[in-house]
Amino acid sequence: MNLKPSAAPKGVIGIAGHAGIGHAFSHSGFFQEDSGGFAYLTTLLCRTCPAADITIASVDIDEEGRVVVTTKGGGVGRASALHGFSPYEKELMQRAVGMRCAAPQTLSGRIFGRTYGQGAGTQASAFSLAAANAMMDTGRVQWPSRTIGAPDDLPGCAGSFLGGVLDIDDMPVSWLLTINASVDGTGPNEDSEGCVPIGNKGRIMQELGMLDMPLLVLEGKAYVPALKPPLEKNSVFIRWNSKYDNIVAGECLVRAAEESGQPVCVLPDTYSRYTTELADETRRIGERIEALGRAYASEANAARKIALIAELATICNHDSAGSIFMTNDIQRIVGNGGLWPGLGAMLALCVTREEADLWKTLRLTDEEMDMVVDILIEAARYLYERKDEAMVYVEQRRPDISLEELEAMARA
């Protein structure tokens, strides 16, 4: 098997992976390492282009108070935190120097203990964003053939995109890295998650042909307490919706995962579409906050005021993440994973309750990232062999909505 940067302007199949900066916890006990999709694709790119050394070379604070991360491969990433960084936090972040980890959330967890989004842990989220930016910039600097990059141009977003083409043997594959982040470490806004062709991301996907080819879409590592029966072993996690997504892409992922010998969990009827579930969850959280506000306004006792605020903090740093991450109208089309109908299926990892209870916040190991990439490469081969079958779903399930209309939803 030979991996190399491609001279082709676009591939015949595609791979997309994202990082949701700070999207670590949610309601009902769900939590995740949401930079895994970015990490798996970055690991593949580093195999393809060894000069892209993502080892952290330095961490500093610039004159504007932003954290600045540089890599040994020449990448530079910056990010700001809502309340800035203290000298102690700057000292903590020096621990990252010399570390090599393709998963920005795991890297941030190794520095700060755990990462919170939704404005609850802006310093850790900002460091995670700066590290992700530096890794993406390393790819841009070192990739010897053409890449296409752009910032996330949706309101309040601080993420970015980078795409190109690599060859797996003689098979050209379009690839696209996505960083979903909000300003000052407060998000993430994931309207451009997965393979959603919105704003600048949509324009890059068009240029790489990724709106007209089957895709393998990468997600992170999750603890899903609602899985029945509960997992006995950590598993490869493959998901799509048989009514809306690309069944062939899903079947290729399942085949490659099963041949790897790893435990496999397959959900072919998840990521529901055209429901009110996100609007309902947003309303539920809003009503809980409203009730807490009323209770707090009339409370005089210190202990009870503290308990109310502690409950509000839990809503902010955990429960609200299940509703803030995407615009309701966009989620109705693409589901919680950001799968544009017809294009692809999702590859990720899921863990047992025992791992979740031990770590409290999920992390990715180098061995796990390499294992997912091995599965990904084999799935890409199978998808290439079945690309004509897969294209039927791409063409037949394409939503009747323009990219301009989709972008207008995020700007409404």
Cα distances (angstroms) measured from residue 95 to each of 89, 108, 201, 281: 10, 10, 33, 38
Q: What is the pTM for the complete model shown? A: 0.96
In whole angstroms, give the CA distance from residue 112 to residue 131: 14
Instruction: Give the rounded percent of residues in the chain with a pLDDT score beyond 70.
Output: 100
pLDDT confidence of residue 27 = 77
What does the pLDDT look like over 320-341, one tens digit per residue? 988 999 999 999 999 999 999 9
Give the CA-trace dihedral at 167, 251, 369, 192, to 10 degrees: 80
CB 105 within 8 A of CB 19: yes
Mean pLDDT score, 344-363? 94
Nearest of 326, 229, 239 to residue 277 by alpha carbon: 326
pLDDT confidence of residue 25 = 86
Mean pLDDT score, 18-34? 89
Nearest of 53, 116, 107 to residue 82 by alpha carbon: 116
Q: Edge to edge, what strands does the sheet with 67-71 contain?
A: 56-61, 67-71, 76-79
Burial class of residue 195 in the structure, from the number of CB atoms within 10 Å of its CB (0-12 exposed, 13-18 middle, 19+ buried): buried
Residue 347 pLDDT class (50, 70, 90 cuts): very high
Residue 306 pLDDT class (50, 70, 90 cuts): very high
What does the pLDDT look like over 70-109, one tens digit per residue? 999 999 999 999 999 999 999 999 999 999 999 999 999 9
What does the pLDDT look like over 271-300, one tens digit per residue? 999 999 999 999 999 999 999 999 999 999
Q: What is the DSSP string of 293-320?
A: HHHHHT---HHHHHHHHHHHHHIIIIIT
- The structure tokens listed for 170 are 């003689």
Note the Cα 213 to chain centre separation in Å: 21
pLDDT confidence of residue 268 = 97
